[in-house]
Amino acid sequence: MSQQQFENFTASSLYCEKCKAAMPVRERLLLVLPDKEIFDYLCTGCGSSVGRREITAGEKLLAEAMAGGPRRAPMSVRLQ
């Protein structure tokens, strides 16, 4: 079971100080840099920002591979 690992990639709910509860969040792309992307997490209850996350290019590829995205990373690469 790798549930904890999975949670590193998707934060579905975060604690909101305004709502005083763990609320479902909406991910919003805040900033795109050459080597990483910064996401803002907004509470779906009150709309305030409850968190922020930086995704490096490597992490993004990994997340896409896990989600079965367009780029599928090979499990092993054989060089010859």
Binding site for Zn ion (CB under 5 A): 16, 18-19, 23, 43, 45-46
**In the bound complex, what is the minimum distance in angstroms from residue 17's beta carbon to Zn ion?**
8
Spatial separation of the C-alpha atoms in residues 55 and 27, rounded to whole Å: 12
**In the bound complex, what is the minimum distance in angstroms from residue 16's beta carbon to Zn ion?**
3
DSSP string over 50-62:
EEEEEEEHHHHHH
Spatial separation of the C-alpha atoms in residues 12 and 19, rounded to whole Å: 16
Query: Would you say 20 or 71 has its CB closer to Zn ion?
Result: 20
Query: Would you say 18 or 26 has its CB closer to Zn ion?
Result: 18
